[in-house]
A and B are shown apart, each in its own frame.
Chain A
Amino acid sequence: MTQTGNRAIPRHVRERAQNSALYFALFIGLLALTVGVYRGSLHLVELKAQDVTLADLPSALLLSFLRMLASYLSSLVFAFGLGLMAARTRWGERLIIPLLDTLQSVPVVGFFPAAISFFIGATQGHRLGVEMASVFLIFTSQAWNLAFAVYEATKTLPQDNLDAVTSFGVTGSQKFWRLYAPACVPRLIYNSILSWSNGWYFLVACEIIAVGLIQYHLPGIGSFLSRAAETDQIQLVIWGLVALSSAILSMDFLFWRPLSIWAQRFRQEQSAGGGDELGLTQPEWVHALSDQVRPVGSALRKLLKVLFFPALWVLREILIPLFWDLPVAALLTALDWIGSQIIKPLVTQYEKIVNRAGWTKTAVPAFLGIVLGIGVGLFATRLLVHWLAPPWPTLVRELPAAILLSTLRLIIAMALSLGLTIPLVLWCWDRPRLRQGLTTVAQVGASLPAVALFPLLVLVAVRNLGGGMEIASIALVLTGMLWYPLFNCLGGISTIPADLTEAMRGLGLTRVGLWKKLVLPAMRPALITGAITAWGGGWNALVVSEYVRYRDQTFQVKGIGSLLARSVYELGDNQAITLCIAGMVGWILLINAFFWKPIYRSTVDRYKFEA
């Protein structure tokens, strides 16, 4: 075929890129100037823990929100990049999905060394670098989940839609905006709610970056709560929690609910009950109110457009032509050139040889594969040996017992989560209003950081009931697990078709009969998905549950979470951190492969509602 080999970067792409490069240079110059002028004030020597008062609360909340926003936006870009690559290419699927699985099970403190050496190191300890490190840490609690959303949504796109778009010649960024981005919207919104909850939950860990003696305390709601808890200012903790809950609730009402309703139009009609159904609706008074404030709303929208115009302009005129259109065109040209000039002659030559001797067809790739495999293996082993060379820190000897203890703790917490979720869901499944309320509660509950709850827990449970830190740590882990099965099951039961319920009622089934025959089986896939998510979340939450600083004292129980926390916060030993994470991640992946995946597969296929 001769069509290939004549592709060049299209002229309009080149011309636009030239313009954009000019703008970009101006932009960077301006930025450098600004940074230069403000450099002195950017460099904060002291990022130590400071005593907090109620007056610090508003600015703390705002700063944390901005960090979350920055992290969320970069997570979205990351999610689209990696998710699409995983869904659309064969190597991507084999490579990216296991990678995401692994990254997902690394707790946030596991990323501390990377954050410190990269961001803070690169900016030599400037406040900006610390902020970037913090945003990166929040990113590690938000991004993977969103990438999975993009992957799943793209993967389940009907073949007809893909073929239609491709056959009409829609390619590149047009294909993205017309096909992929809209197709991902419903799933992405659902997972975004989880990502935000997760981000808030781990905010404490992300705003206090500490490895051994190096410590950076950034002002924010996370560090506010932590400091207030540490210094036993219960009132401040409660105020902080109230502020955080109201922020979460207002985001829910102003943002996620309208978005979920808007997202209905992006849903494929054929797919039913894909698990991304929240059944969220606006209460009536919101409708009434929104009718009242519609003129204000449209004015606000105009204002937003004006405010966002610079950002959109930058996106359209600088970023997209320079960093998307040009590289893509260049890459295509380069691939084309490589294909026609290098690979093709090679292949032709190779085929000539192969045709002469049939056995080389399998032998040559096999040989090359083995050589490459040995090379990579040797390199990786050397790297690992270098990193993990004995003498190992003494801490490591505790590793197996710690993992076992933590696993037991998680099993108890899991049993408690499921034991609480199932009756709650059964109780409210045919009471839509209650279901709504509970969904919101789950969303807020999932967002409240464990550390902030600790003092309250101490007051209520530990002092009165006894049992000490062991009970407290299970309760804390529960705060990171309980919400997922609840949230998922509430979504799951909202997909039960109404006519099915009616048919069952018509057959004369009692309430208990309905639970047994309809509700429990129908919510099983959601329950399993929720349990898997909770299990993963639980491992991440261990670090903040087994090791808590309170009133200048450290409370801890034996377990992998406290082991990891100790190696990060107290020892600052990279080797110990690596070993802890390796042990933990390995164990998590093992359990996933041999326990959760088989259960998931057998359940999801059997209990799906056909469209």
Chain B
Amino acid sequence: MARGPELFKLDHVTQRFRLPQGDVTVLNDVSFTAAEGEFIAIVGPSGAGKSTILRLISGLLKPSQGQVIYKGKPLGQTNLEAALVFQNFGLLPWLTVAQNVELGLEPRGLDRAARRKRVATYIAKVGLEGYEEAYPRELSGGMKQRVGLARALAVEPEILLMDEPFSSLDALTSINLRDELIDIWSDRDFPVNTVVMVTHMIEEAIELADRVLVLSSRPGQIAGDLQIDLPRPRDKRDKAFSEYVDKIFSLIA
């Protein structure tokens, strides 16, 4: 995918959290720029502040120091152009599948008819037709994450933020869902083409992303920024693939 103009950048961002035991610095002076159309994976050991970066881009958190610049402007409040997908799905148990998918549409001013149409489209896109009226507790893990994905895609965001989206799924389900994600992402009609994904699985990052950011452990700092130049679909048994794996391993260790 062609590298487009700059979409957002983190400008010397430091993030501290106040805990009862004292202040903890989670990110220390992190800067990077993301271009439109990029698929970026962020890898690193747990506690490196990977999820914090996603929450900064989505505007849920404000940096303690530095700035998040989105489309040339500093981000002041919740970023309505970004949509999040959560590791534990973040579905509301009291809403049906359709209502969960609809969650972000009302705040964006869509009327009822438009909302219905959107919901139907994206439920179909993730293959959940017939489950519109089901409640999350009635679904398997893979299906729940499809709902989470549909909810994020339905707002047709400029950027999709995914926080370990496949970690709570079993191996087979996560392979299927990864393939589908690649299909959706490479679909040219589809408005979303910038993705930032956090993962702790190095192979998953290399398989999906154009670019991998490697974070070092607490406080998180950028230890590496790699361009993955492999044709898709990528094969884990490929020699070039395992060279990337080794390289990232050495950066983390």
Contacts and interface: CB of A to CB of B under 8 A. Distances in A.
A161 B78 contact: no
Nearest to A182: B94
Contacts, number: 79
Contact of A169 (B107, B136, B151): B107
Nearest to A160: B90
B54 to A, nearest CB: 9
**Max count, chain A CB within 10 A of own CB: residue among B91, B93, B108:** B93
Q: Please list the 7 inter-chain residue pairs (A to B) with the smallest Cβ-Cβ separation, ordered nearest first.
A: A168-B104, A164-B90, A169-B107, A3-B76, A160-B90, A182-B94, A167-B84
B106 A166 contact: no
B76 A170 contact: no
Contacts of B95: 178
Nearest to B108: A169
B151 A168 contact: yes
Contact of A168 (B73, B93, B103): B103
B88 interface: yes
Given A4-B76, A168-B103, A171-B107, A163 B86 contact: yes
B248 to A, nearest CB: 27
A169 B76 CA distance: 13
A269 B122 CA distance: 25
Contacts of B89: 160
Interface of B: 55, 58-60, 73-74, 76-80, 82-84, 86-95, 103-104, 106-108, 135-137, 151, 155
Interface stretch (A136-144, A260-268, A381-389, A595-603): A260-268
Main secondary structure on B side of the interface with A: loop
B92 A178 contact: yes
Given A166-B78, A170-B107, A174-B106, A265 B90 contact: no
Interface of A: 1, 3-4, 158, 160-161, 163-171, 174, 178-179, 182-183, 185, 265-270
**Max count, chain A CB within 10 A of own CB: residue among B76, B79, B106, B107:** B107
A269 B90 contact: no
Contact of A164 (B73, B82, B84, B94): B84
Contacts of A3: 73, 76-77
B74 A1 contact: yes
A161 B60 contact: no
Contact of B86 (A164, A265, A270): A164
Nearest to A267: B93
Contacts of B55: 163
A165 B74 CA distance: 22
Nearest to A170: B107
B92 A269 contact: no
A113 B76 CA distance: 50
Contacts of A171: 107
Contacts of B91: 161, 164
Given A158-B88, A163-B86, A169 B93 contact: no
Contacts of B90: 158, 160-161, 163-164
Contacts of A270: 88
A166 B79 CA distance: 10
Contacts of B76: 1, 3-4
Nearest to B74: A1
A169 B88 contact: no
**Max count, chain B CB within 10 A of own CB: residue among A4, A161, A174:** A161
A55 to B, nearest CB: 47
21 contacts: A1-B74, A1-B76, A3-B76, A158-B88, A158-B90, A161-B92, A163-B55, A164-B86, A165-B92, A166-B78, A167-B79, A168-B84, A168-B155, A169-B107, A170-B103, A178-B103, A179-B92, A265-B94, A265-B137, A266-B93, A267-B93
B178 to A, nearest CB: 21
Contacts of B73: 3
Given A161-B92, A265-B94, A269-B137, A169 B86 contact: no
A170 B155 CA distance: 12
A190 B73 CA distance: 48
A182 B135 CA distance: 14
Contact of A167 (B78, B88, B92): B78
Given A160-B89, A164-B92, A179-B92, 17 more contacts: A158-B88, A161-B90, A163-B84, A164-B103, A166-B78, A167-B79, A167-B83, A168-B151, A169-B80, A171-B107, A174-B106, A185-B94, A265-B94, A265-B137, A267-B93, A269-B136, A270-B88
